[in-house]
């Protein structure tokens, strides 16, 4: 992003009040710098109120120095509404964020993912369930999203990180550099190093009660589905589940004992139509069609579908795809013997995030088989139809 667009986007992001007029301003003028240069009349026409108009006109460069310094560090990114890399799932929300600060790999926001949420003070069994579901989802190639809170969120992130090549994303109600609770600072750093930490708030922003329902809409919006592990009848996890349902996403709930107060929220969700989930396989089966749709969106963004042919009863890459050096390396690294992610990383030199995205799209297109996190080229029947491969980097 050009420096003038970055500065303008930071100023727009820092404004108080409604986000919709700022998105509208970017839609009309295309780039943040152009939106800022258009002046107060254009700002008002887009719907900015007087408070926002005055604040935008008076926003001094030095007030955003801390955000610029944070963004200057390696691995730190800002994705704006105008950016083609803005996650497509979030565009479908009724109130998508204007911009996202990302510490880690922003490509993971396009990666098929499942959110796991629940109580901040779970039972030991609930904590174990969150870890197990997260580990199994990560082993299957999905990233696991949660909110870095104590309890179920922490267990979900840890479960995903326990998988050999597990990916996880933390969506924060603070600035991207602020762990809440503080005890999760080391976990925040591990997630940033291996996955991504995401926030719509400027770096340095501290926790406020109003930030967390807003955080939950991003968590629900980025995910293909939301799994509630343990939740009381009045809990933030149920808010996330409702926001996921409102966004047209799948909602799952893990049942529990009728004597466990933390199971009552899950039971209420099931009564209201959420899918009862006992294993990660049930979650995966339900979200795979949506993952295929996301793969198509990603494939269209990355130059469109590339066909393959069936040869010797084995799926093969087309010459065009073989011209891509990364896909060539991955295809060469794959064989007819199951190969784990760690070995593929060694053979290709690609990152876990890159390989996971590519492998998941290839699996959805019928080119690759995945059993328990180990991949092989898929063997096709002699009369199998031709398939299309996606470019899922």
Question: Each residue of 280-322: pLDDT tens digit?
Answer: 999 999 988 777 666 665 555 544 332 222 233 345 555 445 5
**Which structure tokens are listed for 230?**
């343990």
pLDDT confidence of residue 303:
42
**Angle, vertex CA 74, rays to CA 69 and CA 76, nearest 5:** 65
**Residue 295 contacts by C-beta under 8 Å, 6 or more apart in sequence?**
112, 360, 361, 364, 365, 390, 392
pLDDT confidence of residue 170:
98
Backbone angles phi, psi at 251, to 5 degrees: -125, 130
**Which structure tokens are listed for 302?**
């990355």
Distance CA 232, CA 211 (A): 20
pLDDT confidence of residue 365:
61
Query: Locate tokens 């969120």: which residue?
Result: 153
pLDDT confidence of residue 305:
35
Q: Any idea where the domains of the chain sit in the sequence?
A: 1-71, 104-286, 302-389
**Which structure tokens are listed for 163?**
């998988």
Query: Locate tokens 């990355």: which residue?
Result: 302
pLDDT confidence of residue 386:
38
The torsion defined by the Cα of 184, 189, 195 and 201, in degrees rounded to 10, comes to 80
Distance CA 211, CA 214 (A): 5
Alpha helices in the chain, H assignment, sequence order: 3-14, 20-29, 32-37, 40-46, 50-58, 65-71, 88-91, 124-139, 152-162, 185-194, 211-222, 236-246, 264-271, 280-301, 319-322, 325-333, 341-348, 352-364
Distance CA 219, CA 86 (A): 15
Picking from 301, 294, 306, the residue whose alpha carbon sits closest to that of residue 331 is 306
Query: Locate tokens 């919709």: which residue?
Result: 20
pTM, whole model, 2 decimals?
0.77
Fold category of 302-389 in CATH: Arc Repressor Mutant, subunit A (1.10.10)
| Coil vs helix vs strand at 278 | coil
User: Which residues lie across from 114 on neighbouring strands?
Assistant: 144, 225
User: Which residues lie across from 389 on neighbouring strands?
Assistant: 306
Q: Which residues of the chain have pLDDT under 70?
A: 292-324, 335-336, 361, 363-366, 371-373, 378-393
**Which structure tokens are listed for 326?**
């990364």
The torsion defined by the Cα of 269, 250, 358 and 158, in degrees rounded to 10, comes to -10
First to last CA, the chain: 20
The verdict on domain 104-286 having CATH code 3.40.50.450 is yes
pLDDT confidence of residue 253:
97
User: Which residues lie across from 315 on neighbouring strands?
Assistant: 310
């Amino acid at each position: 992003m050009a420096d003038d667009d970055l500065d303008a986007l930071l100023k727009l992001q820092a404004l108080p009040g409604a986000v919709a007029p700022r998105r509208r301003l970017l839609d009309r003028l295309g780039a943040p710098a152009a939106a800022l240069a258009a002046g107060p009349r254009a700002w008002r026409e887009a719907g900015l109120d007087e408070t926002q108009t005055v604040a935008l006109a008076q926003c001094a460069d030095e007030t955003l120095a801390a955000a610029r310094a944070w963004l200057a560090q390696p691995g730190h990114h800002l994705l704006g509404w105008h950016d083609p890399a803005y996650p497509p799932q979030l565009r479908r929300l009724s109130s998508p964020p204007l911009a996202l600060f990302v510490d880690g790999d922003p490509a993971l926001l396009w990666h098929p993912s499942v959110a796991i949420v629940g109580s901040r003070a779970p039972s030991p069994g609930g904590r174990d369930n969150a870890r197990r579901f997260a580990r199994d989802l990560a082993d299957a190639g999905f990233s696991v999203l949660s909110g870095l809170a104590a309890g179920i969120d922490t267990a979900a992130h840890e479960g995903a990180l326990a998988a050999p090549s597990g990916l996880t994303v933390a969506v924060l109600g603070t600035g991207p550099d602020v762990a809440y609770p503080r005890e999760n600072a080391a976990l925040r750093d591990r997630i940033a190093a291996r996955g991504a930490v995401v926030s719509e708030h400027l770096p340095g922003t501290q926790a406020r009660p109003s930030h967390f329902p807003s955080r939950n809409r991003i968590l629900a919006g980025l995910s293909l589905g939301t799994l509630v592990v343990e939740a009381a009848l009045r809990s933030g996890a149920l808010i996330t589940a409702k926001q996921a349902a409102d966004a047209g996403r799948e909602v799952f709930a893990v049942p529990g004992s009728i004597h466990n107060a933390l199971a009552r929220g899950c039971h209420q969700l099931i009564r209201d139509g959420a899918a009862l989930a006992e294993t990660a396989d049930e979650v995966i089966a339900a979200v795979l069609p949506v993952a295929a749709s996301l793969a198509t969106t990603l494939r269209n963004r990355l130059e469109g579908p590339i066909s393959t042919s069936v040869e010797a009863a084995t799926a093969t890459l087309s010459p065009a795809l073989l011209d891509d050096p990364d896909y060539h390396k991955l295809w060469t690294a794959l064989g007819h013997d199951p190969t784990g992610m760690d070995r593929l990383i060694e053979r290709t030199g690609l990152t876990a995030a890159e390989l996971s995205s590519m492998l998941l799209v290839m699996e959805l297109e019928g080119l690759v088989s995945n059993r328990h996190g180990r991949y092989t080229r898929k063997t096709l029947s002699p009369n199998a139809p031709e398939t299309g491969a996606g470019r899922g980097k």
